A and B are shown apart, each in its own frame.
Chain A
């Protein structure tokens, strides 16, 4: 058996399950092509297998549980993009990958290719519990309280084909982190979970009713300290209340956030507690033995002493300013002495955020094999993480990334935009989000300028469904359709994390080029008015929105 570091290693029964699902879907595709299934009958079946009919072709969304891949899986995704797509993959804000040019008749073959490396597309669509996302630095970050991956895997197994939750009122998204710094946007999920250790075992702080989309809401805490043993029962009860009372008569009112807003968090908590009091809790008890059995399917990196790590790294930084700049922006402290976390930006100036070519996927997989225990993480900000790089090998990794066109030093800066596929690919979109992202990326492509501006998130969505999380961007852009033409609303003040906030609209929507100019003027305004060390949000809070509004619409 190939043992992979970073994620749950499948057993034979897991593989048998995937094969059963593929055979079932193969039959469904055959019946659809023969005509014995209508499109209306077939649509929910293909969606359950991650297949959408988009603007130009079928789009295939593949699950990357808690965002972690091994190198053989990334090689396989690259092969699929070459053999069944057009040589690209697109990483999403839910840590999945999408292929935009898939043929329906190839879908069962692709699923079989995925299954050969223990991957699938189950529950990447439809009104069910979607891919459980997690912290991209899980199990590696120095600031982490608790590695959330084992519990993320438990949630994955619990939610996969859960008989009660396969036809929820609407899609349902869960994220889990074990860090004091919320790197999963927990408060913008249907359920967000923050795990922490205690003397009596892990405790889980649970938020419900968060989400973006048409009605953005910051999730509210429903329980502060759920013990590990009661985690599944608690989630089960939260879902049952939603399943029972969530609106099924209106698409726009069907998410859990609407139910929580309608009845209030206290009433929702009371309903959950009542449900728990009636449940056979023994059936849902997450025992230490069960957790240990899942944990045993995870392999850990075999760290070694790296006595000269810091010295070698400092030498390379001293002699290569470009490398030094990349280290300063794109790395994070590792919990293991001698190692470092490297984040690979998929936001080179003028390129499509989140896109990778097949060659880049093969290259990243090879770098991970050589320098990060064969493990690759996908972030909800559409970047890639090599989680365990020896400090004395970081320069070699950077050179490898440079050769792949992936050494952009802009993590967390203006160029590190989050962006949905927009109207170029998505049938729901109102406007193209990718061209404006490219223009902004090119406008602020200069790395020195980005460094001078400092941390600033720009999030772009092509429609109100908010796949680009525009409400959570310090600067958010929302594409809107005005009689067939594209315009963009500008939002200011959004934020992920502990004090998550929803950005608000600055003024009337602008045409694409006017929007790019307005964003540039907003950033110039910030640079001219900020005080020492002040972030964009801090300046915005201090001086208010009016100065930004004035410059944004100065020549519009």
Chain B
């Protein structure tokens, strides 16, 4: 998957699925994998390239698969720009019980992305 170059107010986050249970995780500033997108570290394009390379090397040891980066709009709750990544970050939209913790921090008006401007 080719990385997008972040524009103003945007950043890249590193994400993966946990090997044991497949759950979505996000890489924080110390290199730990977290379940909450709010704990993910924002990267520039160049930083993300390097972080991805490191994460790939440590994937088995850290118990993750399918590592890649996600373009988000930055803020107190990073918001992925595509619907696919929005659903990954905040949970299925069809069952409130299955929403992830970070979804509770979303502004009411921001339950779906607006799309990129490309």
* Chain A residues packing against B (C-beta within 8 Å): 32-33, 35, 38-39, 53-58, 86, 102-105, 352, 423-425, 429-432, 434-435, 438, 481-486
Contact = CB atoms under 8 A, between A and B. Distances in A.
Interface in B70-118: 81-84, 87-88, 91-94, 97-98, 113-118
B30 interface: no
A424 B22 contact: no
Contacts of B93: 424, 432, 435
B114 A105 contact: no
7 contacts: A32-B19, A33-B20, A56-B24, A102-B22, A104-B21, A423-B84, A438-B94
A246 B74 CA distance: 48
Contacts of B87: 55, 423-424, 432
B81 A484 contact: yes
B65 interface: yes
A39 B59 CA distance: 10
A58 B21 contact: yes
A429 B92 CA distance: 13
B21 A423 contact: no
A33 B61 CA distance: 10
B7 interface: no
Task: Give the interface centre of B19, B21, B92, B117 by most chain A CB atoms within 10 Å.
Answer: B92
A434 B95 CA distance: 10
Interface string B7-22: 0000000000101111
Contact of B92 (A102, A425, A438): A425
B115 A483 contact: yes
Contacts of A483: 115-118
Given A56-B24, A485-B113, A352 B94 contact: yes
B60 interface: yes
A482 B115 contact: yes
Interface of B: 17, 19-24, 60-61, 65-66, 81-84, 87-88, 91-94, 97-98, 113-118
Given A33-B19, A432-B83, A484 B115 contact: yes
A28 to B, nearest CB: 14
A86 B93 CA distance: 15
Contacts of A482: 115
A103 B82 contact: no
B65 A53 contact: yes
A104 B64 CA distance: 12
B94 A105 contact: no
Secondary structure of the B contact surface, majority rule: loop
B20 A103 contact: yes
B83 A423 contact: yes
Nearest to A88: B95
Contacts, number: 82
B96 to A, nearest CB: 12
B83 A57 contact: no
A102 B21 CA distance: 7
A485 B94 contact: no
Contacts of B60: 35, 38
Contacts of A435: 93-94
A38 B65 CA distance: 10
A35 B63 CA distance: 9
Given A55-B84, A57-B17, 13 more contacts: A56-B22, A86-B97, A86-B98, A103-B22, A352-B94, A432-B93, A434-B94, A435-B94, A481-B84, A483-B115, A484-B84, A484-B113, A484-B115
A38 B56 CA distance: 12
A45 to B, nearest CB: 14
A511 to B, nearest CB: 11
Given A423-B87, A486-B83, A57 B21 contact: yes
Task: Give the interface centre of B19, B113, B114 by most chain A CB atoms within 10 Å.
Answer: B19
The 6 closest A-B pairs by CB, nearest first: A484-B82, A103-B21, A485-B115, A57-B22, A424-B92, A58-B22
Contact of A53 (B66, B84, B91, B94): B66
B115 A105 contact: no
B98 A104 contact: no
B17 to A, nearest CB: 6
Contacts of B98: 86
Nearest to A51: B22
A547 B61 CA distance: 61
B84 A54 contact: no
Given A424-B92, A438-B94, A486-B83, A105 B21 contact: yes
Contacts of B92: 56, 424-425
A55 B88 contact: yes
A39 B65 contact: yes
A432 B91 CA distance: 12
Given A424-B92, A484-B115, A53 B22 contact: yes
A471 to B, nearest CB: 23
Task: Give the interface centre of B17, B23, B24, B81 by most chain A CB atoms within 10 Å.
Answer: B17
Nearest to B60: A35
Given A56-B24, A104-B22, A484-B83, A424 B116 contact: no
Nearest to B66: A53
Nearest to A352: B94
A331 B100 CA distance: 41
B114 A485 contact: yes
A435 B117 CA distance: 25
Nearest to B59: A39
A485 B112 CA distance: 9
Contacts of B65: 39, 53
A425 B84 CA distance: 10
A178 B118 CA distance: 53
